[in-house]
Amino acid sequence: MEQRHLRAIREMLSDDLDECELGLIPTRYELVGDILLLSVPAALHPKRHIVAAAFQSVLGVASVMEKRIVEGEYRIPAHELLAGRRTTTVHNENGILYSIDLSSLMFSSGNINERIRMSRVENVGTVIDMFAGIGYFSLPLAKYTRSHVVALEKNPRSYRYLLNNIALNHLEDLVSAHNIDCREYGGPLASRIVMGYVGTTDRFLPTAFSLARDGCIIHYHQTVPVDGAREEVERQLFDASAESDVSTKIRTLHMVKKYSPGVVHVVADVLVSRRDTPSREKDLLSE
């Protein structure tokens, strides 16, 4: 935060907060569209609405929400609206428009570099985004690489915003969306697969392998211990491939962001080689 903004916020709150509390005013925030996400210290929690109103006034945002932990299979946030009236916004990042409701859907600004990286990969053919969400990776892949993207999203609410964002970015000819669990998809195989999920991503590796052509690149996201991160990813890939007809090789592995103490969010670019051509691919090739 710029010092002039921090000074203005502290001055505005000087009648409501004591000196100790003024020193606890957050100096960092996340801006998604015109909505500000703020982490409020516990000591300021009783006065969080007053603090949020000051941020809203000084920074000129539509709303301020308290940033809280994202939980559950659908990664639904528990953000609380502190100032303003709406929780929906349109976020512009790297020339991509994302419409989103921050009261029920996640947007991780910390993944920006990975979203930009996806806009620069080679067009190798069909891409399957197994956990598309509102289009975090599908949209930049389609817009900038001109790849055909099959976007799979199980959460009905995320799916509605995914459809809206496909239209908002005029990508109807390049992105086909499906409101299904990725394990239920039975369409054409992919030359690139995005697994933009963390925590239990390894459970979906058998599905990814079944959807991969020979030579497919899988962008495998996972949260792992910072010590031995590569070894843990290699173990997960080995365990999953042991019962499949594929072998895997990590081309690159890098950290996306710190996730929690001692844990990092990483993404591995994994080359998949098939030991045998799967029957479904044989059927497609013979048509």
What does each of the 287 residues of the chain score in pLDDT, given as a tens digit? 899 999 999 999 999 999 999 999 999 999 999 999 999 999 999 999 999 999 999 999 999 999 887 766 767 787 999 999 999 999 999 999 999 999 999 998 889 999 999 999 999 899 999 999 999 999 999 999 999 999 999 999 999 999 999 999 999 999 999 999 999 999 999 999 999 999 999 999 999 999 999 999 999 999 999 999 999 999 999 999 998 889 999 999 999 999 999 999 999 999 999 986 655 554 444 43
Helix (H, G, I), strand (E, B) or coil at 282: helix
Q: Note the pLDDT of residue 1.
A: 86
* Topology adopted by domain 3-86: GMP Synthetase; Chain A, domain 3 (3.30.300)
Dihedral over Cα of 124, 126, 130, 134: its sign: positive
What pLDDT, on the 0 to 100 scale, is given for residue 97? 98
Q: In whole angstroms, what is the distance from residue 265 CA to residue 242 CA?
A: 24
Predicted pLDDT of residue 110 = 87
The predicted pLDDT at position 281 comes to 54
**CATH 3.30.300.110 residue spans of the chain:** 3-86
- All CATH 3.40.50.150 domain ranges in the chain, comma separated: 109-286
Query: Domain 109-286 sits in which CATH superfamily?
Result: Vaccinia Virus protein VP39 (3.40.50.150)
Closest CA to 195 of 248, 243, 138, 147: 138
Say which residues have a Cβ less than 8 Å from residue 152's Cβ, sequence separation at least 6: 128, 129, 130, 131, 132, 177, 178, 180, 181, 182, 185
pLDDT of residue 283: 46
Cα distances (Å, whole numbers) of residue 270 to 51, 212, 237: 46, 11, 9
pLDDT at site 77: 81
Q: Residue 26 in contact with residue 38, Cβ under 8 Å?
A: yes
Structure tokens at 99: 């419409």
Q: What is the model's pTM?
A: 0.90
